[in-house]
Amino acid sequence: MYDLTLQTQNLLNTMPVIIDYTDDRLYLKGANEAREKAIEKLLISGELTVEKIAVILQVPIEKVKEIEARIKGGK
């Protein structure tokens, strides 16, 4: 009699399964939301310029300015 659990585990260990989660729609949505929150916090702290925030977070300056305008408009 064969031990199917052991055989299955051995087979799974040898299978080259590669999943690129960075292309997943939900992953990208979460990453964008987290990036926007970081931009907001950095802008509110006032310690960095718009340009420095854009460079550090690797986003277009326009995106940082858009969020800055939203923050100023909300006050």
What does the DSSP 8-state code read for residue 57? H
Residue 20 lies in a domain: no
How high is the pLDDT of residue 19?
80
Residue 73 lies in a domain: yes
Residue 16 lies in a domain: no
How high is the pLDDT of residue 14?
87
How high is the pLDDT of residue 2?
65
How high is the pLDDT of residue 13?
84
Residue 71 lies in a domain: yes
Domain of residue 46, residue span: 25-75
Say whether pLDDT at 11 is over 90: no
Residue entry with tokens 């929150």: 37
Say whether pLDDT at 1 is over 70: no
C-alpha 31 chain-centroid distance = 2
How high is the pLDDT of residue 5?
84
Residue 12 lies in a domain: no
Residue 31 lies in a domain: yes
- What total number of domains does the chain contain? 1
Q: What is the pTM of this model?
A: 0.68
More confident site: 40 or 23: 40
